Amino acid sequence: MNTHPRIERILAWAEQNRMCAWPLVPNDYHLLQRRVQTGGLVMPFPRFYVRTAIWGNLSFSERISYILRTACAKDPTVTVCGISAAAALGYTSTYYQQRYIHVVARKTSESGRHGQYVAHYLPDVESVMVNGIRTTHPLQTMFDCARTLDFSTAMAICTMGLRMTGSTAQTLQAYCADMTRKRGLPRARYVAQHVDTMCTNGGEAIAYAVALELGFSKPECQRQFINQIDGSTIYVDFTWTLDDGSLIIGELDGREKYENPAMTGGADSVAVTLREKDRESAITMQGIPVVRFQMSHVRNRRQLEQRLLAAGVPQPDKGKRTPFTGFICNEY
């Protein structure tokens, strides 16, 4: 068999199944690597290959799925877990957090880091198939993320997981309460206690979590107000109620509302901007102070803290210890 046609067949099969190709015999590796060097292929994960043109047109979530689907195709016994399962289930699409593939180990002797794979001992775990990827059960996935990841990432994943499965925070709380003798259990229970499914996306959930970590009082998410112009309903991202009953509104400004077709409704950028200006006017006419911040401020933390303090948001828990105090996430 001619080697080059063989490589073309390997690539074509992988593309048909929306995954990466991998070398089946030693000589395949050298031929695939040669194409990487000439720019025809990329290697997004060790020994996983995909055409450069195809990879460039994939979203981050699709890229993650390609890699995880390939791992499961190479070894049908693989079940992904933790943050890898969260990505497969659609709870996160943050690409840099997928440096490793997290998989289930059935024996304690198999657990640990093996190159780019991290095996976690999870005996008798329930699994589901999602788009060619075998993952841990959604609640198990949320629980594992809550106990092993940093607070804001765990909150974002659990928020989206609960929203996508139609579950409540109480469901996750009950699941965590039934668990015993698990590493990070206090962290999982803390996440379940504070998760708010009213956050409509991962960015809001991260901002909400960071505000709590900074010690600010818990806001109400997606509070409803009546538009004084036309009587329609408007929702604001965060609302803090002060001791005297007065309110402070917090609004997270992000590029997604202007660029994501799912949020723009097919409108062009000018129409979306004007629509957002109308919404801002309706919020301003409530006569309530509004503090606006961006994800760059959330990531900086100090900038978010400065803005919330300047707006008068209470910070009663500054410096308060939590199960996440001093915790360092090593999952990605």
pLDDT of residue 286: 86
Report whether pLDDT(3) > 80.
Answer: no
Per the structure, the complete domain to which residue 228 belongs is given by 216-311
**For 218-266, what is each residue's pLDDT tens digit?**
999 999 999 888 888 999 999 999 999 999 999 998 655 544 444 444 5
For residues 46 and 76, state if they share a domain: no
Are 126 and 165 members of one domain?
yes
How many CB atoms neighbour CB 299 within 10 A? 13
Shared domain check, 246 and 224: yes
288 and 222 together in one domain: yes
Residue 291 lies in a domain: yes
For 39-48, 76-85, 140-149, 284-293, which range has the lowest pLDDT when averaged over its residues?
284-293
Q: Tell me: do 304 and 225 sit in the same domain.
A: yes
Residue 32 predicted with pLDDT over 90: yes
CA atoms within 13 A of residue 17's CA, in its CB half-sphere: 19
pLDDT digit string (tens) for 114-137?
Answer: 999 999 999 889 999 999 999 999
Residue 285 phi/psi, 5° resolution? -70, -5
Residues 316-325 have a mean pLDDT of 96
Residues 273-296 pLDDT 10s: 666 777 788 888 888 899 999 999
Query: Phi first, then psi: what are they for 325, rounded to 5°?
Result: -60, 120
pLDDT recorded at residue 279: 79
* Phi-psi region at 82: left, alpha or beta (left = phi > 0; alpha = psi -120 to 50): left
Predicted local distance difference test score (pLDDT) of residue 269: 56
Statement to judge: residues 195 and 287 lie in one domain: no
pLDDT above 90 covers what percent of the chain? 83
- Does residue 97 share a domain with residue 29? no
Please tell me the distance from the alpha carbon of residue 97 to that of residue 64, in angstroms, as a whole number.
10
- Per-residue pLDDT at 258: 43
29 three-state secondary structure: helix
Q: Where are the alpha helices (H) located in the chain, listed in sequence order?
A: 3-16, 26-37, 52-56, 60-74, 82-88, 138-148, 151-165, 169-178, 185-194, 202-213, 256-259, 261-264, 269-284, 295-300, 302-311
Average pLDDT over every residue of 14-42? 95
Residue 56 has pLDDT above 70, yes or no: yes
Reported as a single tens digit per residue, the pLDDT across 162-215 is 999 999 999 999 999 999 989 999 999 999 999 999 999 999 999 999 999 999
- At a CB cut-off of 8 Å and minimum separation 6, what does 75 contact? none
Q: What is the pLDDT of residue 311?
A: 96
pLDDT (0 to 100) of residue 264 = 41
Answer yes or no: do 184 and 233 share one domain: no
Residue 328 lies in a domain: no
Residue 270 lies in a domain: yes
Same domain, 89 and 161: yes
Q: Is residue 207 part of a domain?
A: no
Compute the mean pLDDT over every residue in the chain, rounded to the nearest whole number. Answer: 92
**What total of structural domains would you count in the chain?**
3
> Do 80 and 131 fall within a single domain?
yes
Summarize the confidence of residues 297-308 as an average pLDDT: 97
**Stretch 83-111: mean pLDDT, rounded?**
96
Give domain status of residue 23, yes or no: yes
* Tokens of residue 176, six digits: 């965590």
326 assigned to some structural domain: no
In which band, very low, low, confident or very high, does the pLDDT at 15 lie, cut at 50, 70 and 90?
very high
- Residues 18 and 43 both lie in one domain: yes
Residue 159 has pLDDT above 80, yes or no: yes
